[in-house]
Every structure is written in C-alpha cells, then in structure tokens.
Amino acid sequence: MGKKRFLIIFGFFLTAVVSAGITYGAVKYNEISNISNDPFGKLRSTYQTIKTDYYKDAKTEDLVDGAIRGMLGALEDPYSTYMDTKEAKGFQENISSSFEGIGAEVQESDGAIMIVSPIKGSPAEAAGLKPKDKILKVDNTSVEGMSVNEAIMLIRGEKGSKVKLLVERSGVGELNFTITRDTIPIETVHFEKMDDGIGKIQITKFSESTDKELAKAVSELTKQNVKGFVIDLRQNPGGLLEQAVYMSDLFIAKGKNILQVENKDGSKEVYKAENEDKIDLPVVVVVDEGTASAAEIMAAALHQSAGIPIIGDKTFGKGTIQTTKAFKDGSSVKYTIAKWLTPDGHWIHEKGIKPQYAVSLPEYAKLPYLDPEKTLKEEDSSAEVKVAQQMLQALGYNNVKANGIFDPATKQEVEKFQKENGIAVNGQIGGETTIKMIESLQKKLIENDTQLEEAVNVLKKQLAS
C-alpha cells in the first residue's frame, strides 16, 4: 500500500471513530455536557471539565486569568489588556512615579510588541530604539503571542542590570540591542531659554503632575521675558487624557474646543477651554512619529483651536481612550471606552497628524544602534559594518564607502577617529570607539536639529509680523 493511500485511509478511519465516540490511540473523544442558551454555559462547562478531568491540578486563579486574557484578546484591540498584580503595579508606576527599566512606551500591534516612543533621556533613547521598532525577543525569549504587559515585565528590571532586545526595523531588518536599565525619572517637562529670547518647553509624557510642571515652566520662562514658546512633543507617547485637556487649556481661548469624545452609542462629549487668561505669546509645536495619544490631542487642539502651527513629521496615530478597572487582588483590566476626535471632529487613529511644515531630521538620525559589546574589524562583512561606515561618513570621515565591507580604507578612517578622540588606536570598532561614535552623532544631531531650527524660524516670522 502506498504512503499516500495509507494517509487517506487513516484519515477516513480517524473520522469514523471520532464520530462514533470511540477511543483511538492516545485520544479519547467525549461529548461535553449539553449547553443551554446561557452564553456562559460553554465557559463554565469547560472550567468544570478542566478541574475534574485534566490530568494535572489546574489552579483556579490561572484559569480565571487566562479566561480574562482570552476575552480581551478576542477584541483584537492592542490597547485593551488584562494586567496581573505585578503588571498593574508597573502600569500605575509608569503614569505616577519613577520606575526602573529602559524607558520606552510599547504597545501590541498586529500581534507584535512595538515601540511607540522611547522616553526622552532614557536608556532606550540613548541605545537608539525608534518608534515602530518591533520587539522579537527579550533576553533570547520570544515575545510572540505575549500581551504587552507580559513583555513589559520581561523588559523591566533593576537599575544597572542589562537586557538584550532583538528588534525588527522596517527597511533595515533585525537589530540587536544591549541596554542597561536605569531609574526613569518622573520629571516630564524640561525647559530652557534659547537664543533670541525664545523659550523651549519639552514635554516627555503626560503623567499625573505634568500640568503643574508645564505651568511652572511657562511661569519661569515668562519671568525671563521670553518672546514666544516652542512646545516640543517629539517622542512623547502620551498618557492621561485629562492632562492633555488641562495643558491645552493654557493656550486656547475660553469656549473653543479642545477635543471631542465619541462614545459607543455615537453620542459626543465636547471638551472646551475654560481658562480666562490664556497665554498670548506666539507658540509653535514640534512633533514626530513618536508623538502619540495625549500628545496628539494637545497638538491637534493647539493647531485647530488656537491657530498654532505644527512642525516636524507625521505623528503616530492613536485615537482611542482607555480606562482601567481594578480588582481587589490588585490586578486590573485596561480597555478602550471611546474614540477621541480633534476639535473639528476628525479621527486621526492609524492616520496621524500631518504637520503644516513637514521637516525631517537628517538621515543619520535614523541609523540603527551599534552594540558596543560587539567588535568589528578588518575583513568583516555585515550590516553592522555598513552602519558603522555610515556613522563615520556622517561624522565627516568621507574616505569610507558604506558597502558593508571592513576594508583597509575603513580601518584607516577608524584609526583617524580614534586618534582624534583620544582612544587607543587599533583600527577596530567596538567598546569605547563605538560609544564615542554614538555620542558624537548625538551631539551632532543636537547641533543640527532641523525640526527645532524650522520651529524657531516659524516662530520668528510670527514675531516679525
């Protein structure tokens, strides 16, 4: 009898014995008890079957947690999830106090764990993680199929400890990161008086005290007689909706819309500005692909209801609102309750906000991270070598060709870089050399922040008019 024929006959035989309720091999087929019209009948019956017939003891707590995760997963909404006690505590810390980790906002997207935005000044930002990087593994553990909170608990850890991430970046491929965890501070607003009397205010996320921090920044800069404000919302993953409302209220005339909330039944609630004394100095807003959620609410509100121009790249595009429900054991569910719309009623979900002044950072700002623990040397050929060559080119070492081959010309330029930066000359890229290259690029980016430069130019034109 041929193999193909045997498989066909075996398939028929198995179907026959299943239909008859007969035991075959190691599989026993039994009909689960009859279920009434009660929609939870199958759930209760399955639970009872597992508790009585499963070959090992199953913890009731684990079964209940699994059922809740399954219900939320069936919604196919990356922003609705179950959080056990540990996960819920971590979530609360992220919006109310400091925590220890790498400092990156993540979400589930099409079954993958994706970076929304690294937090300003965090290890994640310093390492070079970018918005929309997809995390594949954490310390060699695949995160496929995990909830976003399960992945977060793997990524977080004690200050000073290291975590390895394997990520996939669109147009680049897979990248390895080794990141040293640190304390992520609660301070969410940073400000300074720039040249020409312009006040720069950077908001990194929207937590419980951000409105007070913003008010303080505006007050301090006003005392320094600034002529206008640049509100920097780049790499801001969002946070609390009420904070976006309070903060937008500072810049919008009383009675004008801040946002609209569309409920399940189609009804809409309109949030309007209530501040009697709005800021009357010129303002511009800077955004990028890491500007999300509450940060998008503020950007849209300031533009549509106060005529404030937006500069930068198209934003992330998160137009839903979540709330949490806590259980007595400390666990909780986070779930979507409504859409938020811009003041004029548009839904920017998965579309983002297009700036009036489209400006991107220099190409070298998008270069992947180089792992300092990995050594690149002459005769190596890899994607990492190409990245290192592109870094050297961006730093002015133009005799290098970005072809991914560590040739003698590359070695010569590496030696030149090492000599000029007081590093032991060996012609290899790794350790101190890699760290110095990254630091030099970051410094150059600060000095050549094309988005901030355009924001200042737009603000100056307003001041001159």
Measured between alpha carbons, how far is 31 from 38 in angstroms, rounded to an integer?
18
Measured between alpha carbons, how far is 104 from 96 in angstroms, rounded to an integer?
15
Residue 161 per-residue DSSP state: -
SS3 120: coil
Measured between alpha carbons, how far is 105 from 175 in angstroms, rounded to an integer?
18
CATH of the domain at 418: 1.10.101.10
* Same domain, residue pair 355 and 377: no
Residues contacting residue 348 through CB under 8 Å, at least 6 positions apart: 296, 300, 315, 317, 319, 342
SS3 100: strand
Task: Return the structure tokens found at 243.
Answer: 């904070």
Asked if residue 56 belongs to a domain, the reply is no
* Same domain, residue pair 217 and 337: yes
* Same domain, residue pair 260 and 293: yes
Asked if residue 69 belongs to a domain, the reply is no
CATH of the domain at 310: 3.90.226.10
* Same domain, residue pair 221 and 349: yes
Asked if residue 306 belongs to a domain, the reply is yes
* Same domain, residue pair 271 and 339: yes
Is-contact 421 408, C-beta < 8 A?
Answer: no
* Same domain, residue pair 301 and 440: no
Q: Which of 288, 356, 337 is nearest to 317 (CA)?
A: 288
To which H or E segment does residue 69 belong?
Answer: helix 60-73
Q: How would you class 420 by CB atoms within 10 Å of its CB: exposed for 0-12, middle for 13-18, buried for 19 or more?
A: exposed
User: What DSSP line would sit under 269-323, residue for residue?
Assistant: EEEE---SS---S-EEEEE-TT--THHHHHHHHHHHHH---EEES------EEEE
* Same domain, residue pair 42 and 112: no
Cα 352 to chain center, whole Å? 14
CATH of the domain at 160: 2.30.42.10
Asked if residue 83 belongs to a domain, the reply is no
Asked if residue 20 belongs to a domain, the reply is yes
Q: Which of 343, 348, 344, 335 is nearest to 264 (CA)?
A: 335
* Same domain, residue pair 233 and 284: yes
Amino acid letter, residue 243: Q
Which pLDDT value is given to residue 36? 59
SS3 201: strand
Which pLDDT value is given to residue 305? 98
Residues contacting residue 291 through CB under 8 Å, at least 6 positions apart: 117, 233, 234, 235, 236, 299, 312, 315, 316, 353
Asked if residue 34 belongs to a domain, the reply is yes
Which pLDDT value is given to residue 172? 85
* Same domain, residue pair 170 and 234: no
Is-contact 310 353, C-beta < 8 A?
Answer: yes
Measured between alpha carbons, how far is 237 from 118 in angstroms, rounded to an integer?
8
Residue finishing a domain among 135, 165, 184: 184
* Same domain, residue pair 150 and 196: no
**Within a 10 A sphere around the Cβ of 302, how many other Cβ atoms?**
25
Measured between alpha carbons, how far is 358 from 158 in angstroms, rounded to an integer?
40
Which pLDDT value is given to residue 58? 95
* Same domain, residue pair 222 and 320: yes
Q: Taking the C-alpha atoms of 116, 120, 122 and 126 in order, what is their torsion angle to the nearest 10 degrees?
A: 90
pLDDT tens over the chain, length 465 residues: 444 333 333 333 233 333 333 343 455 555 555 555 788 889 999 999 999 999 999 999 999 999 999 999 999 998 999 998 888 887 777 666 567 889 888 888 777 899 988 887 889 998 999 988 999 999 999 999 888 888 988 998 889 999 999 999 988 889 999 999 998 776 789 999 998 899 999 999 898 889 999 999 999 999 999 999 999 999 999 999 999 999 999 999 999 999 999 999 999 999 999 999 999 999 999 999 999 999 999 999 999 999 999 999 999 999 999 999 999 999 999 999 999 999 999 999 999 999 999 999 999 998 888 888 899 999 999 999 999 999 999 999 999 999 999 999 999 999 999 999 999 999 999 999 998 999 999 899 989 999 999 999 999 999 988
Write out the residue range of the structural domain in which residue 198 sits: 189-361
User: What DSSP line would sit under 232-276, residue for residue?
Assistant: E-TT---B-HHHHHHHHTTTS-TTSEEEEEE-TTS-EEEEE---S
Which pLDDT value is given to residue 3? 40
Residue finishing a domain among 184, 205, 232: 184
Number of domains in the chain: 4
Asked if residue 62 belongs to a domain, the reply is no
Which pLDDT value is given to residue 148? 84
Residue finishing a domain among 361, 386, 414: 361
Asked if residue 68 belongs to a domain, the reply is no
* Same domain, residue pair 196 and 314: yes
